[in-house]
Structure 1
Amino acid sequence: MKDQLSDYINEVLGFYEVLGTDRVLNDHLHSQGGYNEWVFPRLQRAALDQVDNNCRATDSRYAIWAADVKEILLDAESYLEQNNVEASIRNIKLAINALSAYIDIKALFDAKSGMRFNTPDEIISRYEKFKK
């Protein structure tokens, strides 16, 4: 099973690497709709599932959350094609913030396992300048 999964992972990465910067697979496979409104609640649900080591849905929840980020970026691309730069920038910033939240959450899990680059307090203290 592990070898087969490794083969599938390599196939996925090879496929998207070949697409490069010229093409995008736009099939909405994992999209659940409501992505602008649900991007942070879905990330929260996935992360809290990860806290519960017995939850089987963690990976699929992260996949649905990542599909939200993809849809947000696809909308940003569409807005650019319509010359709606302001809407595109809003979506890009939303996607950046969603990815930043994911990075910080995963760093918190690293800190829990002892593989940390930063302590939880170091991660969270960066937010203070934005609360003013």
Structure 2
Amino acid sequence: MKQVNPLIRCILDFYNLQRMENPVVLERMKEGNSEEWVMDRLERAIFNDCDKEAKATHSRYAIWGEDIRSLTLKARNEMIQGNCERAGKLLNIVINSMGAFIDAQVMLSNKPENISFIEPAEILESYIEALKSNNFKESAEIDSVVKRMEELIKDKPLFYGIEG
């Protein structure tokens, strides 16, 4: 876990920096029509997850899923009440949380025994590019996160066969 923790911290920090201001959508794994394939993709993910030996994995995913549902319902209620700005901020939290989940799963799948479609360095490089763009407000916090990500990228052995 020693090598994985800094990577996961980068994922969480990246999505948390603008969690209510801007939804972060970095499309790296988009194929086909999400509306048509969403349940099939979920089914494959669930069946792939079934053979893990972890004891609380599913419970934790369920708790997180309930948070996503709750935030989405709150956003829907805000929209119904005409408070679109608040609804948008709630949806940004949902979008960013989903992005963090996706990227963490990609990062954790980067083990020799797994198939990985994206290298961890690509994820961090996309974060750095996004943070340096005009979509994010400049701050010491962002500079610190970027610096930490750049340092991790320099440690190339980290990206080949991440140890859990």
TM-score of the alignment, normalized to the shorter chain, above 0.5: yes
What residue is the counterpart of 2:77 in the other structure? 78
Query: CA offset at residue 115 of structure 1?
Result: 0.4
* Letter aligned with residue 58 of structure 1: T
CA separation in 1, counterparts of 2:58 and 2:114? 22
What residue is the counterpart of 2:127 in the other structure? 127
Query: CA offset at residue 126 of structure 1?
Result: 1.0
Query: CA offset at residue 125 of structure 1?
Result: 1.5
Query: CA offset at residue 61 of structure 1?
Result: 0.5
Query: CA offset at residue 54 of structure 1?
Result: 5.4
What residue is the counterpart of 2:58 in the other structure? 59
Cα-to-partner distance string for 1:53-111 (whole Å, 9 max, x where unaligned): 75401110011001101100000000001000000000111100000000001111222
* Unmatched runs of 5 consecutive residues or more in structure 2: 1-18, 20-48, 133-164
What residue is the counterpart of 1:103 in the other structure? 102
Give the structure with the higher percent helix: 1
What residue is the counterpart of 2:114 in the other structure? 114
Cα-to-partner distance string for 1:27-58 (whole Å, 9 max, x where unaligned): xxxxxxxxx9xxxxxxxxxxxxx9xx754011
Question: Could you say what secondary structure the match of 2:55 adopts?
Answer: coil
CA separation in 1, counterparts of 2:82 and 2:72? 15
Higher RCO by CA contacts (8 Å cutoff, separation 6 or greater): 2
CA separation in 1, counterparts of 2:114 and 2:121? 14
Question: Could you say what secondary structure the match of 1:97 adopts?
Answer: helix
Q: RMSD value over aligned CA atoms?
A: 2.1
> What TM-score results when the alignment is normalised by the length of structure 1?
0.56
* Letter aligned with residue 85 of structure 2: E
Question: Could you say what secondary structure the match of 2:109 adopts?
Answer: helix
Identity %: 32
Question: Could you say what secondary structure the match of 1:115 adopts?
Answer: coil
What residue is the counterpart of 1:88 in the other structure? 87
CA separation in 1, counterparts of 2:124 and 2:63? 25
What residue is the counterpart of 2:162 in the other structure? none
